Amino acid sequence: MKAIVLENPLIQHKLSIIRNKNTGTKEFRETIGEIATFLCYEAMSDAVLEDIEIETPIEKTKCKKLNENQYAFVPILRAGTGMLDGLIKAIPNAKIGHVGLYRNEETLKPVRYYYKMPKDIQKKEVIVLDPMLATGGSAVDTITMLKEDGVNKIKFLCVIAAPEGIKKLQQIHPDVQIYTASIDEKLNEIGYIVPGLGDAGDRIFGTKGE
């Protein structure tokens, strides 16, 4: 599968906000959530709807309904939680799991410290969230853990991706569709996306420079 890139002018405008180093914590956090909502809309384009009958103020009519309980969002801690509000606005009854990974600064490989999923996770379509797909290590490990739990429908949403991360994720999990707002140029020597936006977690939570 090719990564799906959202090239809507409104999203490109919002990318310029979060890339700007002078954007404050509040605006950065809100904009990340807004982009996440757009990504969710795109990721749900193939959703299966149920036929229902409702009554409007005028008459009875047939409509389509999404079974929200069939979905689960899994943000990769901690930056992935910055995208969560944007998706909950779209599918408020989806279940939520969490994966805690941190990057070993020497090896650049992810280390797992937390994993908690909703009941019957194997029966749900899971949407994994992480603002940055850099080396791809955290995404690959998270998806591997989910598959080991029996999940077979997985999508990955990120705001910015590096070609290296896309390549790694596609090589190891070719069945997982990637949705992103931008594919950037490359990774630098310390594993950050160029031009990127810096450390998404630090900017979402206001810990930049600490």
% residues pLDDT > 90 (the chain): 85
Single out the residue of 210, 199, 209 nearest to residue 18, CA to CA.
199
pLDDT value of residue 105: 75
pLDDT value of residue 192: 92
Q: What's 196's DSSP letter?
A: S
Compute the distance between CA of residue 200 and CA of residue 133 in angstroms, rounded to an integer: 11
Residue-range definition of the domain harbouring residue 12: 4-48+66-205
Query: Residue 132 pLDDT more than 50?
Result: yes
When the pLDDT of each residue in the chain is averaged and rounded to a whole number, the result is: 93
Compute the distance between CA of residue 137 and CA of residue 150 in angstroms, rounded to an integer: 20
C-beta separation of 86 from 106 below 8 A: no
In 3-state terms, what secondary structure has residue 167?
helix
Alpha helices in the chain (DSSP H): 9-19, 25-43, 81-90, 137-148, 163-172, 200-205
Question: Which of 19, 202, 203, 207 is labelled catalytic?
Answer: 202
Active site annotation includes 199: yes
What CATH number does residue 119 fall under? 3.40.50.2020
- pLDDT tens profile 3-43: 999 999 999 999 999 999 999 999 999 999 999 999 999 99
- pLDDT tens profile 66-125: 999 999 999 998 899 999 999 999 999 999 999 998 777 787 677 789 999 999 999 999
Active site annotation includes 23: no
The two three-digit tokens of residue 108, written as one number: 């650049």
Task: Provide the pLDDT confidence category of residue 168 given band limits of 50, 70 and 90.
Answer: very high
Alpha helices in 65-209 (DSSP H): 81-90, 137-148, 163-172, 200-205
Question: Which of 56, 85, 107, 203 is labelled catalytic?
Answer: 107
Query: Residue 62 pLDDT more than 90?
Result: yes
The answer to whether position 55 is within a domain reads no
Count CB atoms within 10 A of the CB of residue 50.
Answer: 9
**C-alpha 133: how far from chain center:** 9
The answer to whether position 99 is within a domain reads yes
Single out the residue of 195, 132, 149, 143 nearest to residue 169, CA to CA.
143
The answer to whether position 129 is within a domain reads yes
Look-up: residue for tokens 């599918």? Answer: 91
Single out the residue of 193, 208, 200 nearest to residue 31, CA to CA.
200
Please tell me which residue, 177 or 137, carries the higher pLDDT value.
177
Q: Averaged over 155-173, what is the pLDDT? A: 97
Compute the distance between CA of residue 77 and CA of residue 74 in angstroms, rounded to an integer: 9
The answer to whether position 13 is within a domain reads yes
Question: Which of 23, 25, 85, 199 is labelled catalytic?
Answer: 199
Active site annotation includes 184: no
Q: Averaged over 159-184, what is the pLDDT? A: 97
Query: Residue 146 pLDDT more than 60?
Result: yes
Compute the distance between CA of residue 25 and CA of residue 17 in angstroms, rounded to an integer: 11
C-beta separation of 79 from 200 below 8 A: yes
The answer to whether position 53 is within a domain reads no
Single out the residue of 125, 141, 131 nearest to residue 177, CA to CA.
125
Query: Residue 210 pLDDT more than 60?
Result: no
Query: Residue 208 pLDDT more than 70?
Result: no
Single out the residue of 80, 91, 103, 83 nearest to residue 34, CA to CA.
83
Query: Residue 209 pLDDT more than 90?
Result: no
Report how many domains make up the chain: 1
Q: Which helix (H) or strand (E) holds 139?
A: helix 137-148
